[in-house]
Amino acid sequence: MGRKKVTSSDVAKKAGVSQATVSMVLNKKYNVSFSKEVIQNVETAAKELGYELPRRRARKQERRENLLVVISPNLTNPYYVMLLQGIESRAAEQDFGIFVCNTQRDLKMEERYLKMMPSLNPQGIIYICNPSQCFMGEVEELAKRIPVVVINNQDERLSVDAVELDNSKLGRLMARHLLELGHRHVAYIAPPLTARQKQRSRRVEGFLKEFQSAGLGENVVIRAADEQADKDIPGIDSEYRIGYDLTKELLKEHQELTAIVGLNDMIAFGIIDALHDEKYKVPGEMSVMGCDNTLFSKVKKVSLTTIEHFVIYKGMDACDIIVKKIRSRMKKYTEIEPVSFYHVEYEPKIVIRGTTSYPRDKKIKN
């Protein structure tokens, strides 16, 4: 007959302590205080009996280290694809797999994915958009157990790591460029400006405030899509259609405009096509700006003036933060687990290309 396997209860009996005490001492659970004598008795008893800790927990931890979850609103906008590209490139270097959850901006879908986290058992979670306000509590609770990083978040009340973006600064940069060129009558086209999407409103507000500071606030026309646009499942051209359709409306109502700005590049592409169909020359008769510096903005026939805020780097940074958190938890030099918050922010830069110029009235005068 083979030798009987030594159990934690055998160690407990020999050391004269409870089975729970054996488990906590041998698993180095220092949040409970034990005397040196108890610790020594347990460790000596385990050694003499040849007791070994079960390996089940180690295998579970190994599985977690191979998976990161990315929660995305959609992948129809190249902006989110670029973020994902940055995350995947860094994750591959660290031997992580990626599981992408597209919420389609639907609260029920977001809730469903959050409830899946225990079964997925990821080593970390990256939100590439702001979590919905109603789930902030769940996100913060998750962050107490595993690293959670939010990209594009500037809510100081949310106690998680963040790769941040000052959207009001982006709006101000766009406005400043047009003001310096001499534009005085401009329009700003955006997706729905709802309470759930505060970052959009901040970008518009930054743009408007810059014109207000120049005494031209009344000359800015803000046109946003109906809230239903966020409730529908987004198509590959959803934001492009917003730019196209709202530009057609603006041109009928505001003949004085000399520049139209899109909240992002996809909207700006729709603006350009609508202007082309209405026989407007860009930038000769109407200047156009976007934001995000996506791949298509660089195409020579488009040559869109836009804002670079280093999207791919943000994805890389989010992954780096996850890895740092994992390593800090694995390599402890103190019995107290460290608590830290990372906040990374890039300074946005304007990329001037071929879709912005002086307004038409200034060209006539010159």
Domain with 39 in it: what CATH number? Answer: 1.10.260
Assess if residue 340 is contained within a domain: no
Show the domain range for 82: 62-165+311-331
DSSP code for 18: -
- We report the CATH number of the domain holding residue 360 as 3.40.50.2300
Assess if residue 245 is contained within a domain: yes
Assess if residue 345 is contained within a domain: no
Whole-model pTM?
A: 0.77
pLDDT average, residue stretch 154-177: 86
pLDDT of residue 87: 96
pLDDT of residue 55: 62
Q: Are residues 149 and 279 in the same domain?
A: no
Q: Are residues 157 and 207 in the same domain?
A: no
Q: Judging by DSSP bridges, how do beta strands 287-289 and 259-262 pair with one another?
A: parallel
Q: Are residues 154 and 175 in the same domain?
A: no
Q: Are residues 179 and 280 in the same domain?
A: yes
Assess if residue 354 is contained within a domain: yes
pLDDT average, residue stretch 91-104: 93
Q: Are residues 239 and 298 in the same domain?
A: yes
Q: Are residues 249 and 285 in the same domain?
A: yes
- Beta carbons within 8 Å of 82's beta carbon, 6+ residues apart: 292, 294, 295, 311, 312, 315
- Beta carbons within 8 Å of 235's beta carbon, 6+ residues apart: 76, 241
Assess if residue 284 is contained within a domain: yes
Q: Are residues 143 and 230 in the same domain?
A: no
> Based on the structure, what is the number of domains in the chain?
3
pLDDT of 49 > 90? The answer is no
pLDDT average, residue stretch 199-216: 95
Backbone angles phi, psi at 28, to 5 degrees: 60, 40
Q: Are residues 146 and 205 in the same domain?
A: no
